Amino acid sequence: MEIWINPACSKCRSALHLLDEEGASYTVRRYLEDVPSPDEIREVLGRLGLEPWDITRTQEAAAKELGMKDWPRDAASRDRWIDALAEHPKLIQRPIITADDGTAVVARTDEAVRDALQR
């Protein structure tokens, strides 16, 4: 199990705390420092069953500067979104847990963290 975190994020700290309480074995990826490649983002999106716009923090300054709110959300625009997430990792929703069964969850709630632990 791997968890993508920003240490400054309270949701990330809460998820780590819950993982520790449950005695889970996991690897921490500080994705702002160890930036995921476009292919890694594609893989995680596949595991999540989501599209890149579903995990984009559109209220971040970089998203506003890029005008992402107005970008098309279709198959033809998918790579554009993924490239933007790789270039601006702060735009990636967090935390993301890749579960042992090959799936992943955006673990913003205790329930989502527990869901990942049960997979």
Is position 12 annotated as part of the catalytic site? no
Catalytic residue among 1, 2, 9, 108: 9
What DSSP string describes 80-111?
Answer: HHHHHHHH-GGGB-S-EEE-TTS-EEE--SHH
**CA 49/CA 86 separation, integer angstroms:** 18
Q: Which helix (H) or strand (E) holds 18?
A: helix 10-21
**CA 71/CA 51 separation, integer angstroms:** 13
Catalytic residue numbers, as ranges: 9
